[in-house]
Structure formats: structure tokens, C-alpha cells
């Protein structure tokens, strides 16, 4: 009797949560700035107040439907205090996206980068902001300039680049006066790859100057081209960029618009939705915890909760899942078309539950589609669990679910596409490793830590991932780490700390001993997996595939031995040793060893880990003996490899 209304409310819950995912715009991405310390103003001067006015004018005008605006403040008063300024947004952005970037840039430039400089320019992925005490409107300037490269290599002739970017120059330059001087183009190369190209001038330039500026940039890019997967030239008057992933919105060509209207959502609606979500999430937790309490009363052992995949969250959602999943659907035909009918050419990954395909939607957005194999009943459970869980989560370091598709036997999940695939591909391949540096590794480690902290403590649910490993950490085009694959994850109630299962799932080499042996899991079993990953990232070696040549069975045993012998730097991959960050690296190894200690109580929580990673000044406790040989337990019949490697599929 209660079921219809319950299912209706769940429907709303998930619908509003998923809608909210598509509403959030990403924060503007800072790229570079320049301000000369030769020309500064003093605090509280007229120049400063003029500058502040200028910035708020620019800000206000970004709300109008324009991607470019120039203005002057203080001209009628004292000429020496006049400030000239402009902003330019990338030509494909919606007004709201442009507004976000201008708002960020006007704040950050004075707060973070150029607090007292009269003349400054700052570039983000989405916009450029510039001001000066001299009039620079309609003047072509290619200084200061910056070339930025994607750090990954590509094997592709630079002539393709020059040709494509060159093609765009007349398109942008010949635009009628007052119109955007902006052009993009996609070029196919090497069978399945696409090169995305963009050029843009500030529209105050003449056609002639725009052409001159763009050709200068293209020449400069070609002269220093070193076979990188992406690159850009930033000039004050124009900029160019190419990548092998889509970094701009491609104009839709008379095809059905995306399901949800984007941009231009009023704050009122946003607030209503936010409130709905907050209420809905609370409802979910209350209902869930209520059920749990009832269930655990029946159970003899308090710890024996959540045993088996059919218990807990899945049961709880069973009444509502059909309506829910249907209402979140991407049209099946759309996904089929996007992935070229699931052609093998589009396949980018494969695992126990099915295959992962790359897809391109009508509007050019790249997505990863996880297709669950038709027969696997386990696949269905995984599927429901993943949709319901991930729909509630939102964090920079978690992969974003865009929607799902379900039609008869077919089950599909649609994610944002991650051009750099997964972490295992980078850390275990010496050639790719050497393209990265310690700073990138460090950012990946702290990204994973922050994503995990969000799961454990900061989201309104307490979630244990249970299958953390490098192939479940995806990397976006900036190498930002995003945790994925929530097929094994479990929700805990606020006051629940530990659970036990008869069915141990996870991956050999990353499972904490108490989990592998006794099925007991908690936040501390995720911390263990994190510690293993951390040591793998630093050493470039797999914990499980470790060779006996080092007189140790596992990477953990090896690291511990070196630690005790005071030679811990030998764990570190040679190429990282060449960087001058050894103290930071040693600190990371130390934190890794704390995470893999045998006794779960000794391991730090993820909030401890984030704090320790973030500060050099917090003293680290001495690690105790780690749990080395999970492989010993695996050899006990009960934990066969089948169970132990149950999830190896990732959306890529
Ligand atoms: C300006 O910056 C340069 C280079 O960063 C520095 O050497 C110089 O001391 C700075 N001058 C002033 C006045 O701050
Ligand atoms: C600038 O003005 C603010 C607020 O009026 C004041 O607190 C501050 O001390 C002033 N700074 C200087 C350097 O005069
Ligand atoms: C904007 O720039 C144009 C030149 O491109 C100039 O004529 C105009 O005065 C500028 N507008 C303002 C408000 O400064
Ligand atoms: C801008 O400021 C600098 C230093 O404060 C000054 O030397 C220069 O003449 C100013 N430029 C103009 C056009 O007023
Ligand atoms: C090309 O780029 C370099 C480095 O950014 C810069 O020094 C040089 O002036 C640029 N050349 C041209 C023609 O823009
Ligand atoms: C752009 O303008 C230039 C010079 O006016 C002309 O030679 C060229 O053909 C034009 N290109 C296009 C695509 O209109």
C-alpha cells in the first residue's frame, strides 16, 4: 500500500538529482596570466577604485548576450588614472558560462595574481580578461605570449595541424565587423581519432590584423611543435588551440536538441532544485536507516548487516527502480547512433560485465557508454547499484554519470568521457610514466584522496567503494583523477562503522586482509586499497604482480623491508628520483605505509590522509607492520580468483 507513493517519491528524488548534475557548470579553468611589476598603483588610489569599477562593469556586461565587451573608466577625470579593459569569452559558450568565467577572472586577477599592477592579462579555458592604463583597443598585440602544450605525445604530422588551423584563419578574420571572430573545425586522422581546432581574435581587430595575429600564432606553434597531443598559443589579441578531445561545444546541425535545456536557468529554479535534492537525500537516508534498524533487530549479530548483494541498498530500491531508471533514460537510439551501433572501432574497454564504448552525441559531446552484457544477472545488480549510488554523488574527483539507457535486455550507463583513460595505463607503463612529473603524480594522489574522503565523510551518505584500484581511477584531459565504478559500493548509515559480507568482491592485491579473510569491510578497508595504490604510483610496480627477485612477495613487503633498512627511496621509480622532491616523495611513502598497516584501527582515516598530504608540518606516526600477503588468503579455496577479480571494467 505504501509502495506506490514510495516509488513516486524515489522517482522524483533521482530525477531531480540527475537534473542537478546537468545544471552545474564547471569552474573556470585558469591557464596563465601576466602582469608587469614595473607599473603598480598604491592601495586606495584613484586608479584602484577606477579598476574596481571597470571590473564590475565588465562583470555586469557579461550577463548580456555578448562574448566580448570593452570599456574605459575615469577618462573624464584625470587621464593618468584612466583604466581600459575588456573581456573575451570563447565563441561557443552560452551566456551563463561566459558570465561564470568573467566573474571568476575579475575576482581572481586582483585577489590572487595581480593585486597592485596597472596592466594585466589573464587567460582561462573559457575566457580572457585584460586591462591597462593605456588604450589598447583595436591594436594587434602578440606580447605577452604563452605557448602551452598537452604533455602527452601523439604520432601525427604537424602539417595536418597547420593546414587545419590555417583553414580557419579566413573564416574568423573575414567575419563582418561587430560579429565574433571565431572559428572551429574537426578533422579526422589515423582512422578513429579526431583533431579539434579553434581560432579566435578579439572582434575589435580589423580583418587584416586578425589574420596577421592568427598566422603569427600558427607559425609560432608550428616552430616549436614537438608532437604533443594538444597545444595552444595565447596572445592578448588572438588565441589558437588544438586537441584530440572536444574542448568546445560543436554546433548542432539541425538534429534533435539535447534532452535538457542548458544554460539560462534562473536562480529561482536552481534553488528550488537544490532544496528538493537536500530534502530528497535526507528522505533517502531516513528511509534507508529506518529499514536498516528494523533489519538489524531481526539479525542475531549486529555486525552481520549488509551481507550479500541482494540485501541493503538494492532491496530498498527494488520497489521503485523500474520507474526511476526509465525516467532517467537516454533514448536508446541516440546512444546506438552515438556509438556507431556499438561498433568494435568504438570499443575502449572490456570487463566482466560487458564492454565500454566511446560515443559522440549530436551536439558533439563525447561520452563513454558502459554496456552491460545481456545475460549477466549480476550485471543487472551492478547496474542498479551504480545508477542509484552515483546519481547521488557529485565531486570533482568522482566520474560523472550523465544518464542511463535501458531497453529490454540492454542496460547502458552514459558517463562523461575521459580522454586519458585510467591510471593503470600510466603508472605501469615506463614510457607513459616518463611523460609525467612528480607534481602530476602528487595531484593524482591527492585527487584520489579527496574523492575518497567525499565518499567516506563529506557526501551526505557514507559510502564504501570496495574496489579501489588504478583501473578504476580515470583521468580527464588535465590528468585530474576521478574515481569510477561504483558497482561494488555500499552505503552505510551515519552511525554504522563496519559491515560483513559472505560474498567477498574486489580485486586481488588491493583488498584489506580483514576483508579478504573475513568479509569485514569499513572505511578502513578502502584506506588500505588507497595505500596500495599510492605505493604503486610511486614505485611503478604492481603489488600483486611483484617479482620474487627483490626477495619479497609483494610490493608492500618490499617497501616495508626497505623502510626498516632505512633505504626507502629505493622503492621510488628511477625517473621520479631525478626530480628534486624527495622529501615529499618520502612523506608520501610514509603515508602509504600507514594506510596498509595490518590492524584497521591503526590506519588513518581519509580526512587524516588529506591533512597529512596537505601539510609538511604535521608529524607522521611510525608505521607498524603492514599486511603483506593477501595472496596467501587468496590461495585458500574459499576466495577463488573468480571472486577476487570480479570487477575489472571501467568506463573509459
Ligand atoms: C619585478 O619582478 C622581477 C622578476 O620577477 C624581480 O626581479 C624584481 O625584483 C621585481 N621588482 C619589483 C619592484 O618588485
Ligand atoms: C585603505 O582603505 C581601507 C578601508 O577604508 C583601510 O582599512 C586601509 O587601511 C586603507 N589602506 C591604506 C594603505 O591606506
Ligand atoms: C571599445 O573599443 C573601440 C575600438 O575598438 C573604441 O572605439 C570604443 O571607444 C571602446 N569602447 C569604450 C567604452 O571604451
Ligand atoms: C602607465 O603607468 C606607468 C607607470 O605607472 C607610466 O609610466 C605610463 O606612462 C602610464 N601610461 C600611460 C599611457 O599613462
Ligand atoms: C613565439 O613564442 C615565443 C615563446 O612564447 C616568443 O618568445 C616569441 O616572441 C614568439 N614569436 C612570435 C613571432 O610570436
Ligand atoms: C577573406 O578575405 C580575403 C581578403 O579580403 C580574401 O582574399 C579571401 O578570399 C576571403 N576569404 C573568405 C573565405 O571569404
Asked if residue 118 has its Cβ within 6 Å of ligand 4, the reply is: yes
Give a yes or no: residue 310 inside a domain: no
What is the pLDDT at residue 258?
32
Ligand 5 atom with minimal separation from the 142 CA: 14
Give a yes or no: residue 255 inside a domain: no
Same domain, 504 and 616: yes
What is the pLDDT at residue 549?
54
Same domain, 634 and 514: yes
Same domain, 538 and 438: yes
Residue that is last in its domain, among 416, 441, 475: 416
Give a yes or no: residue 529 inside a domain: yes
Ligand 4 centroid, distance to 41 Cα (angstroms): 10
Ligand 4 atom with minimal separation from the 41 CA: 5
Residues with CB under 6 A from ligand 6: 170, 174
Ligand 2 centroid, distance to 240 Cα (angstroms): 42
What is the pLDDT at residue 516?
83
Residues of the chain with pLDDT under 70: 1-26, 155-159, 251-329, 351-353, 374-381, 385, 389, 392, 408, 494, 545-552, 628-652
Same domain, 458 and 521: yes
| HEC assignment per residue over 348-389 | EEEECCEEEEEEECCCCCEEEEEEECCCCHHHHHHHHHHHHH
What is the pLDDT at residue 645?
30
What is the pLDDT at residue 104?
94
Same domain, 463 and 539: yes
337: domain CATH number is: 3.30.200.20
Same domain, 481 and 589: yes
Asked if residue 43 has its Cβ within 6 Å of ligand 2, the reply is: yes
Give a yes or no: residue 307 inside a domain: no
Residues 6 or more apart whose Cβ sits within 8 Å of residue 528: 510, 511, 512, 513, 515, 595, 596, 600, 603, 627
Annotated catalytic residue, options 100, 467, 476, 573: 467
CA dist., res. 316 & res. 313, Å (int): 5
Give a yes or no: residue 210 inside a domain: yes
Q: What is the pTM of this model?
A: 0.59
- Structural domain of 164: 146-243
Please identify which residue in the block is written with the cell numbers 571494467.
Answer: 649
Asked if residue 261 has its Cβ within 6 Å of ligand 2, the reply is: no
173: domain CATH number is: 3.30.430.20
Establish whether 294 is an annotated binding residue.
no
Ligand 2 atom with minimal separation from the 43 CA: 13
Give the Å distances, CA to CA, from 612 to 11, 50, 209, 584.
41, 43, 52, 11
478 is a catalytic site residue: no
Ligand 5 atom with minimal separation from the 223 CA: 1
Same domain, 508 and 549: yes
Q: Whose CA is nearest to atom 7 of ligand 6?
A: 170
Same domain, 341 and 214: no
Give a yes or no: residue 494 inside a domain: yes
**Total domains, the chain:** 4
Q: Whose CA is nearest to atom 13 of ligand 3?
A: 71
Q: What is the 3-state composition of the chain as percent helix, strand, coil, each rounded to the nearest 5?
A: 40, 20, 40
Residue that is last in its domain, among 416, 437, 464: 416
Q: Which ligand approaches the C-alpha of residue 52 most closely?
A: 2
What is the pLDDT at residue 443?
94
Asked if residue 377 has its Cβ within 6 Å of ligand 2, the reply is: no
Average confidence score pLDDT of the chain? 77
Given a contact cutoff of 8 angstroms between Cβ atoms, the answer to whether 529 and 537 are in contact is: no
Same domain, 189 and 119: no
Same domain, 447 and 526: yes
Residue that is last in its domain, among 132, 154, 172: 132
Q: Whose CA is nearest to atom 1 of ligand 3?
A: 70
Amino acid at each position: 500500500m505504501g509502495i506506490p507513493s514510495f516509488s513516486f517519491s524515489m522517482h522524483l528524488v533521482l530525477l531531480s538529482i540527475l537534473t542537478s548534475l546537468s545544471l552545474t557548470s564547471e569552474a573556470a579553468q585558469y591557464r596563465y596570466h601576466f602582469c608587469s611589476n614595473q607599473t603598480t598603483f598604491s592601495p586606495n588610489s584613484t586608479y584602484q577604485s577606477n579598476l574596481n569599477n571597470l571590473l564590475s562593469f565588465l562583470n555586469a556586461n557579461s550577463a548580456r548576450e555578448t562574448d566580448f565587451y570593452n570599456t574605459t573608466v575615469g577618462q573624464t577625470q584625470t587621464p593618468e588614472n584612466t583604466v581600459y579593459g575588456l573581456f573575451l569569452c570563447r565563441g561557443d559558450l552560452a551566456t551563463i558560462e561566459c558570465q561564470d568565467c568573467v566573474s571568476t577572472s575579475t575576482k581572481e586577477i586582483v585577489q590572487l595574481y595581480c593585486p597592485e599592477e596597472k596592466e594585466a592579462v589573464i587567460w582561462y579555458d573559457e575566457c580572457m580578461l585584460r586591462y591597462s592604463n593605456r588604450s589598447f583597443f583595436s591594436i594587434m598585440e602578440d606580447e605577452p605570449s604563452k605557448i602551452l602544450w598537452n604533455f602527452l605525445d601523439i604520432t601525427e604530422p604537424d602539417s595536418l595541424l597547420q593546414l587545419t588551423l590555417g583553414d580557419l584563419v579566413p573564416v574568423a578574420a573575414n567575419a563582418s565587423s561587430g560579429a565574433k571572430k571565431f572559428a572551429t573545425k574537426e578533422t579526422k586522422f589515423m582512422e578513429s581519432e579526431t583533431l579539434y581546432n579553434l581560432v579566435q581574435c578579439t572582434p575589435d581587430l580589423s580583418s587584416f590584423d586578425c589574420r596577421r595575429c592568427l598566422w603569427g600564432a600558427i607559425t609560432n606553434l608550428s616552430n616549436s611543435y614537438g608532437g604533443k597531443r594538444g597545444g595552444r598559443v595565447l596572445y592578448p589579441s588572438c588565441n589558437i588551440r588544438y586537441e584530440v578531445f572536444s574542448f568546445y561545444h560543436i554546433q548542432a546541425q539541425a538534429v534533435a536538441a539535447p534532452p535538457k535545456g542548458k544554460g539560462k536557468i534562473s536562480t529561482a529554479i536552481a534553488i528550488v532544485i537544490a532544496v528538493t535534492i537536500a530534502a530528497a537525500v535526507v528522505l533517502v537516508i531516513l528511509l534507508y536507516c529506518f529499514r536498516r534498524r528494523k533489519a538489524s533487530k531481526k539479525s542475531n549479530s549486529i555486525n552481520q548487516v549488509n551481507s550479500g548483494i541482494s540485501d541493503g541498498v538494492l532491496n530498498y530500491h527494488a520497489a521503485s527502480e523500474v520507474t526511476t531508471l526509465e525516467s532517467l533514460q537516454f533514448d536508446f537510439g541516440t546512444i546506438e547512433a552515438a556509438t556507431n551501433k556499438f561498433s568494435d572501432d568504438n570499443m575502449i574497454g572490456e570487463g566482466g560485465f560487458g564492454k565500454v564504448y566511446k560515443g559522440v552525441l549530436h551536439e558533439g559531446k563525447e561520452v563513454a557508454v558502459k554496456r552491460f552484457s545481456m545475460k549477466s544477472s549480476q550485471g543487472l545488480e551492478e547496474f542498479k547499484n551504480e545508477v542509484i549510488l552515483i546519481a547521488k554523488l557529485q565531486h570533482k574527483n568522482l566520474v560523472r554519470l550523465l544518464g542511463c539507457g535501458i531497453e529490454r535486455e540492454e542496460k547502458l550507463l552514459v558517463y562523461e568521457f575521459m580522454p586519458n583513460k585510467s591510471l593503470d595505463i600510466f603508472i605501469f607503463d615506463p614510457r607513459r610514466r616518463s611523460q609525467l612529473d612528480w607534481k602530476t603524480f602528487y595531484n593524482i594522489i591527492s585527487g584520489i584522496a579527496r574523492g575518497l574522503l567525499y565518499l567516506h565523510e563529506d557526501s551526505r551518505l557514507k559510502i564504501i567503494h570496495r574496489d579501489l584500484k588504478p583501473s578504476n581511477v580515470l583521468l580527464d584531459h588535465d590528468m585530474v583523477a576521478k574515481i569510477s565504478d561504483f558497482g561494488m559500493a555500499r552505503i552505510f548509515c551515519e552511525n554504522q562503522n563496519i559491515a560483513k559480507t559472505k560474498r567477498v568482491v574486489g580485486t586481488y592485491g588491493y583488498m584489506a586482509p580483514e576483508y579478504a579473510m573475513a568479509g569485514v569491510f569499513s572505511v578502513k578497508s578502502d584506506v588500505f586499497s588507497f595505500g596500495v595504490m599510492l605505493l604503486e604510483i610511486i614505485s611503478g610496480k604492481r603489488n600483486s604482480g611483484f617479482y620474487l627477485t627483490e626477495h619479497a612477495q609483494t610490493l608492500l613487503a618490499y617497501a616495508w623491508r626497505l623502510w626498516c633498512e632505512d633505504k626507502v627511496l629505493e622503492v621510488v621509480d628511477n625517473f621520479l628520483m631525478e626530480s628534486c622532491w624527495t622529501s615529499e616523495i618520502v612523506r608520501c611513502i610514509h603515508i602509504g605505509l600507514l594506510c596498509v598497516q595490518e590492524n584497521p584501527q591503526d590506519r588513518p582515516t581519509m580526512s587524516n590522509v588529506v591533512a597529512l598530504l596537505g601539510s609538511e608540518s604535521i608529524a607522521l606516526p611510525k608505521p607498524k607492520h603492514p599486511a603483506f600477503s593477501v595472496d596467501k588468503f587468496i590461495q585458500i579455496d574459499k576466495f577463488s580468483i573468480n571472486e577476487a577479480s570480479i570487477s575489472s571494467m571501467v568506463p573509459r
